[in-house]
């Protein structure tokens, strides 16, 4: 909506940030990308809707590739013609929400059971 002079990260900076902070992401053809593997169509749609909600709330919209058992998220700031802080912030938020496993942290939420195919959801990157 507004025109800004955002800092565009170099390829070396992008690779360093990915290695340090987002190890399941990769840099290719000017985009930072992440492939989320799911257990099937229902989980794929939940990932798409989650990413859609976060992107709309942030007003920064990724490109998505959607298939039966995976979603690929691609981020790049078109107006800056490169990777900016907007991309990093949204990537971190997407990663934290999609990879959240309540059963692995303290609290009363037990998390989705993965030992029963009826309930299997994401293929987490443990």
pLDDT confidence of residue 8:
98
pLDDT confidence of residue 121:
81
* Residue 112: inside a domain: no
* Residue 64: inside a domain: yes
Average pLDDT (72-89) is 97
Structure tokens at 45: 């749609």
111 class by beta-carbon count within 10 Å (0-12 exposed, 13-18 middle, 19+ buried): middle
Q: What is the pTM of this model?
A: 0.92
Task: Answer yes or no: is pLDDT of 1 > 80.
Answer: no
In this structure, what DSSP letter does residue 103 have?
A: G
Provide the number of structural domains found in the chain: 1
Domain that holds residue 19: 11-99
pLDDT confidence of residue 72:
98
Structure tokens at 28: 């290719």
The rounded percent of the chain whose pLDDT value lies above 70 is: 97
- CATH code for the domain of 89: 3.30.1360.20
Backbone angles phi, psi at 36, to 5 degrees: -100, 120
Q: How many residues does the chain have?
A: 126
* Residue 121: inside a domain: no
Task: Answer yes or no: is pLDDT of 44 > 90.
Answer: yes
CA 28 to chain centre: 15
């Amino acid at each position: 909506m507004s025109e800004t002079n955002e800092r565009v990260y170099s390829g070396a900076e992008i690779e360093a940030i990915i290695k340090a902070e987002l190890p399941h992401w990769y840099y290719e053809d000017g985009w930072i990308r992440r492939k989320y593997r799911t257990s099937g169509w229902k989980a794929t749609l939940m990932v798409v809707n989650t990413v859609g909600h976060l992107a709309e709330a942030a007003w920064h919209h990724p490109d998505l590739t959607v298939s039966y058992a995976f979603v690929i998220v691609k981020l790049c700031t078109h107006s800056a013609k490169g990777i900016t802080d907007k991309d990093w912030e949204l990537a971190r938020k997407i990663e934290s929400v999609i990879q959240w496993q309540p059963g692995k942290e303290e609290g009363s939420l037990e998390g989705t059971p993965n030992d029963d195919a009826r309930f299997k959801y994401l293929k987490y990157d443990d």
